[in-house]
Amino acid sequence: MPLPRFAYFRKQIVPYQDARLGLLTHGLNYGTGAFAGLRGYWNADDGELNVFRPLDHFRRFLESARLLRMQLAVTEADLLEALTSLLRAEDLHTDCYIRALVFYGDEVIGIRLHGLTPEVSLAAVPFGRYIAKADGAHVTFSSWCRVDDNVIPPRGKITGSYANSAFIKSDAELAGFDEALVLNRAGQLSEGSAENVFIVRHGVVATPPLTGSILEGVTRKTIIHLLRAELGVPVEERPIDRSEVYLADELFLTGTAAEITAANRVDHRSVGNGAVGPITTALQQLFGDIVRGRVERYCDWCHGVYAATVPAVRQTAVA
Distance, CA of 91 to CA of 89 (rounded, Å): 5
What is the separation, in whole angstroms, between the first and last Cα of the chain? 21
CA 93 to chain centre: 21
In whole angstroms, how close is the CB of 106 to ligand PMP at the nearest point?
A: 26
From the list 299, 255, 301, 261, the residue with the least C-alpha distance to 281 is 261
From the list 291, 314, 316, the residue with the least C-alpha distance to 304 is 291
Interface contacts to ligand PMP, rule CB under 6 A = 37, 165, 191, 194-196, 215, 217-220, 254-256
Active site residue: 133, 157, 169, 221, which one?
157
Distance, CA of 218 to CA of 260 (rounded, Å): 12
- CB of 119 or CB of 195, closer to ligand PMP: 195
From the list 74, 61, 3, the residue with the least C-alpha distance to 33 is 61
From the list 64, 38, 63, 37, the residue with the least C-alpha distance to 52 is 38
- Three-state secondary-structure class, residue 301: helix
In whole angstroms, how close is the CB of 257 to ligand PMP at the nearest point?
A: 6
Q: Active site includes 157? A: yes
User: What residues act catalytically?
Assistant: 157
